[in-house]
Amino acid sequence: MLRMIFVASVLLSTTLPATASWAVYYSDRETPEAFHPYGLLVLDARYHPPLAALRASGRTLYGYVSLGEIERHHPLYPRVRAEGLLLGENPNWKGSFFVDLRDRRWHNHVLQELVPQVLDHGFEGLFLDTLDDAGYLEDNKPYRPGMRKAAIDLVRAIRASYPKAPLLLNRAYDLLETLAPLLAGHLSESCYANYDAATKRYQLVNDAATAALLQKALAVKKMHPALHLMSLDYWDPADEFGLARIYEAQRKLGFDPYVATLALDQLVAEPRAWRSQ
């Protein structure tokens, strides 16, 4: 899942411009000049380059909101836990806990606290993450019916409450067709290349189920041509041929790609020798 902290940064118009130039960066080491090649950025809210300089140079900034989970270090975590909104720890992401999307108290936290924290900070759009959890929690033991509907209702409430804020959804393919009319864009993460924790190596994703997710996004795009499709894959930055192969493959499919390291704490340039003209 694309996250380093609970809230990160965001967008400046009601639609996402079609571009092959975007990046994710969760650190503050780089200067604003380093972002010159990129038109779109997703940044960490705490540790980032000067935002005013990035806006002045025409960068489009995204803000990250986790809707299906909350991390232990987040300031809201003690209250959410005391209210009984947690549904257990994510076994794949230690220190991050599922929240009950069906509970209106969680909706209120999102609408009255989490989203305003991003928008009041000076960003105007929202990157919506961890909504894959809705289907996972509904389909797996213990069975929790209504999670998908609650996730859809929450996104609709965000759109109604903040109509000028463009929304960019990460994964959550089972919700995409329903939510597409509300979205400016959709991000397919780790669907072509990823990092294998077991082998500690970057590797291509070859399973048919994951390939089908990309096809699903493309099918929704046909129904909603304005939907901007982006992809985020992970690879060894020293392997320029491997990077170039991923960029080429994702562009041929119809996605605007970015390839990063798993930590998302450095800018990884597209190899110049292979860059599409």
CATH number of domain containing 220: 3.20.20.70
Cα torsion 130, 75, 146, 176 to 10°: value is -30
User: DSSP letter at 267?
Assistant: -
> What is the rounded distance in angstroms from the CA atom of residue 243 to the CA atom of residue 234?
9
Mean pLDDT of 102-106: 98
Mean pLDDT of 254-259: 96
Domain range for 26 = 22-274
What is the Cβ-side half-sphere exposure of residue 116, based on CA atoms within 13 angstroms?
7
* Residue 258 within a domain: yes
Q: Considering Cα of 179, then 5, then 84, then 94, what sign does the dihedral take?
A: positive
> What is the rounded distance in angstroms from the CA atom of residue 37 to the CA atom of residue 93?
32
Reported confidence tier of residue 63, pLDDT bands at 50, 70, 90: confident
> What is the rounded distance in angstroms from the CA atom of residue 36 to the CA atom of residue 84?
45
What is the Cβ-side half-sphere exposure of residue 2, based on CA atoms within 13 angstroms?
35
* Residue 117 within a domain: yes
Over pLDDT 90: what percentage of the chain?
72
* Residue 228 within a domain: yes
- Counting the structural domains of the chain, the total is 1
pTM of the complete model beyond 0.85: yes
Tokens describing residue 210: 């994951």
* Residue 225 within a domain: yes
Mean pLDDT of 242-254: 95
* Residue 110 within a domain: yes
* Residue 3 within a domain: no
Going by their DSSP bridges, the two strands 126-129 and 167-170 should be labelled as: parallel
* Residue 13 within a domain: no
* Residue 7 within a domain: no
The per-residue pLDDT for range 185-242, each reduced to its tens digit, is 999 999 999 999 889 999 999 999 999 999 999 999 999 999 999 999 999 999 999 9
